[in-house]
């Protein structure tokens, strides 16, 4: 695994874990509020991880890939939440 991928996957993992926890713990009326909170956490996490790497080459691409992947994960979870609620 390359260091670029290793810096992106943790953000996606946070999105997946957050989506699962929302489905298990949150009240159905609050699903979408929690999705927004988890997305905000993943955006902040993406910046923290990328800034911790301290490499400027590809910074924008890595942040975009991290947050874009998290957005796709949470959008899929939102569709599932919409169907089950």
Instruction: Please tell me the predicted confidence (pLDDT) of residue 1.
Output: 66
Q: Are 38 and 19 in contact (CB under 8 A)?
A: yes
Instruction: Please tell me the predicted confidence (pLDDT) of residue 56.
Output: 85
Alpha-carbon distance of 50 to 53, in angstroms, equals: 5
Structure tokens at 66: 């991290």
Q: Are 11 and 68 in contact (CB under 8 A)?
A: no
Per-residue pLDDT of the chain (85 residues; tens, 9 = 90+): 687 888 899 999 999 999 999 999 999 999 999 999 999 999 999 999 999 998 888 889 999 999 999 999 999 999 999 999 8
CB neighbour list of residue 71: distance below 8 Å, 6 or more residues apart = 39
Instruction: Please tell me the predicted confidence (pLDDT) of residue 85.
Output: 81
Q: Are 60 and 4 in contact (CB under 8 A)?
A: no
């Amino acid at each position: 695994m390359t260091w670029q991928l290793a810096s992106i996957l943790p953000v996606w993992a946070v999105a997946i874990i957050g989506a699962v926890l929302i489905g298990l713990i949150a009240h159905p009326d609050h699903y979408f509020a929690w999705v927004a909170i988890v997305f905000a956490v993943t955006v902040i996490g993406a910046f923290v991880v990328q800034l911790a790497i301290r490499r400027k080459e590809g910074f924008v691409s890595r942040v975009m890939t991290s947050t874009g992947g998290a957005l796709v994960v949470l959008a899929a979870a939102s569709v599932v939440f919409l169907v089950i609620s």
